[in-house]
Structure 1
Amino acid sequence: MTEAIGAAEADRALKSRHRAMWALGDYAALASELIPALGRRLVDACGIGAGQRVLDVAAGAGNAAIPAALAGAEVVATDLTPALLERGRQAAEESGVRLEWREADAEQLPFPDAAFDTVMSCVGVMFAPHHEATAAELLRVCRPGGTIGLINWTPQGFIGRMFAVMKPYAPTPPPGAQPPPLWGDEAYVRELLGEGVSELGMRREMLRVESFATPEAFRDYFATRYGPAIAVYRGVADDPGRTAALDRELADLARHHGDPSGSGAMDWEYLLAVGRRTG
């Protein structure tokens, strides 16, 4: 009993840190400026349209949820971070659509079994720390014959490599927490979803990003707007040497991935996975 209570308290503390981390900076602006195409791509790949009931898990500020609502679906958007949900509400109003916004943990979704026609997540659930629990929840709330759709950054792609660069500068993750980019590996996703899906199609695609004139511009943008990067920088703020090293490594990463023409454009690889819920 004591161990169970301790584990529950540790999980609450971990989720509290995640909630605070994603409220740092301005992820809503980052998503709308850099990756709006990803949400639309996922909605199209899932075949979302009028009359469908759709759940967007770890929806952030609605990068995929709002396009789904614009397609005519009845959409519920969930996220762990209330500040992002509020930004999503504002964006939805500006887009002229209505959808439901609910604070929820991807590992413990507050919905009955088989409640949705489509369950999706756009670079969201990959950041929940316990992957098996998250995958089980995605499957549980999707009706038999419904659609599971995911977009996740790959380990080998730019964002996956960015997390690898930041890892030595970040605190050691708690026991049981799993690296987010694993969700971008085909074999791993197939194992996570298992017999819960059929007709699982997966393909790696590229997102063209042309927002940064220099590698340093990319680094400075993420260091002030992206919650995980801000948290890592705060952790080394008292060590000028480590801060300078992190600065250098992030800029070098962007330089390595930049277009050889010198335009500053980059291609960010992601995995698109869409399958049919069995049962």
Structure 2
Amino acid sequence: MTEASEAIRADQALKARHRAMWALGDYPLVATDVIPDLGPELIRATGVQPGWRVLDVAAGSGNAAVPAALAGADVVAVDLTPELLEAGRRLASERGVRLDWREGDAEALPFADAAFDAVVSCVGVMFAPHHQQAADELVRVCRPGGSIGLVNWTPEGFVGQMFAAMRPYAPPPPPGAQPPPLWGDEEHVRSLLGDRVSAFDAQRRGLRVDRFARAEEFREFFKSCYGPTLAVYRAIADDPDKVAALDAALTDLAARHLADGTMEWEYLLVKAERNTG
């Protein structure tokens, strides 16, 4: 087997693990019950207009895609995980909008160059393991003068801290894979998009989360619904001491951020235009 074919097989295996991870639990419930405001905020900030052709990358169950369709755009939602796409179809039907749901990899989007007026991703593309490949694809499929809009969890915010708390218990990442919360660092995103974009604007904002009355409620919800958390717990299921330690770490994290039944989860909102030159 050649080195190139080995790399292809390794990447296919990695993407299969990612697909399986996001099929665990109930991410659509996370999107609708915990972070429903993120998608509409992204669509407003990106300035999506009726008639625009919009691509939502790593769309999940459509947290940004459905609001874009409700705004009158012609929307394509692409994601690696068929189960999330099926949930998105149901949600779109309930909301009375139609859009195109496609299975696809954020690092190898199945679309032509410059095919979309706006390319967005709401806490989605940040989980693609190879950041530069994913960023290159975001730019490639956006037309010159088109808009790129991203919402990503910051490393310093609550979700970034949650991933840091889980890291000691998770299997080591494969070679070349980068931590998702890096997409919440302004300079990292600037370097990924580079001089191919202009009017780059990045703002740190806070999402008010009032879904959890107690820290333990947060922990149990994410243990049962959030794929990355579920995957870590599965990896340590045979070690009760590690399970107890991770339980304590997540409970402590939530308790430090929870006040009167609310939390604030920091995210980075990025807006940019693809250069016309």
Q: TM-score normalised by the shorter chain: which range applies?
A: over 0.9
Q: What per-residue deviation string (whole Å, max 9, x for no partner) do you get for residues 110-139 of structure 1?
A: 101000000000000000000000000000
Give the corresponding residue for 1:232.
232
Give the corresponding residue for 1:164.
164
Q: After the TM superposition, which residues 191-230 of structure 1 pair with which residues of structure 2 at under 5 Å, given as runs? A: 191-230=191-230
Give the corresponding residue for 2:40.
40
Please, which runs of 5 or more residues in structure 2 have no aligned partner? none
Q: 1:211 is paired with a residue of what secondary structure?
A: coil
TM-score of the two chains, using structure 2 as the length reference: 0.99
Q: Do the aligned partners of 1:215 and 1:264 also contact (CA within 8 Å) in 2? A: no
Name the aligned partner's letter for residue 127 of structure 2: F
1:268 to 238, 258, 265: 265
Offset of 1:196 from its aligned partner? Answer: 1.2
CA distance in 2, matches of 1:210, 1:56: 26
Name the aligned partner's letter for residue 270 of structure 2: A
Give the corresponding residue for 2:134.
134
Q: 1:203 is paired with a residue of what secondary structure?
A: strand
Q: 2:114 is paired with a residue of what secondary structure?
A: coil
Q: Do the aligned partners of 1:153 and 1:184 also contact (CA within 8 Å) in 2? A: yes
Give the corresponding residue for 1:246.
246
- After TM superposition, where is structure 1 displaced by more than 3 Å over at least 4 residues in a row? none
Q: What per-residue deviation string (whole Å, max 9, x for no partner) do you get for residues 137-173 of structure 1?
A: 0000000000000000000000000000000000000
Name the aligned partner's letter for residue 105 of structure 1: D
RMSD, matched Cα: 0.6
Name the aligned partner's letter for residue 11 of structure 1: D
Give the corresponding residue for 1:177.
177
Name the aligned partner's letter for residue 41 of structure 2: R
Offset of 1:264 from its aligned partner? Answer: 2.6
TM-score of the two chains, using structure 1 as the length reference: 0.98
Q: 2:200 is paired with a residue of what secondary structure?
A: strand
Give the corresponding residue for 2:275.
278
Identity of aligned residues (%): 65
Q: What per-residue deviation string (whole Å, max 9, x for no partner) do you get for residues 94-124 of structure 1?
A: 0000000000000000101000000000000
Please, which runs of 5 or more residues in structure 1 have no aligned partner? none
Give the length in aligned residue pairs.
276
Name the aligned partner's letter for residue 92 of structure 2: A
CA distance in 2, matches of 1:102, 1:230: 25
Q: After the TM superposition, which residues 11-160 of structure 1 pair with which residues of structure 2 at under 5 Å, given as runs? A: 11-160=11-160
CA distance in 1, matches of 2:43, 2:52: 12
CA distance in 2, matches of 1:202, 1:103: 29
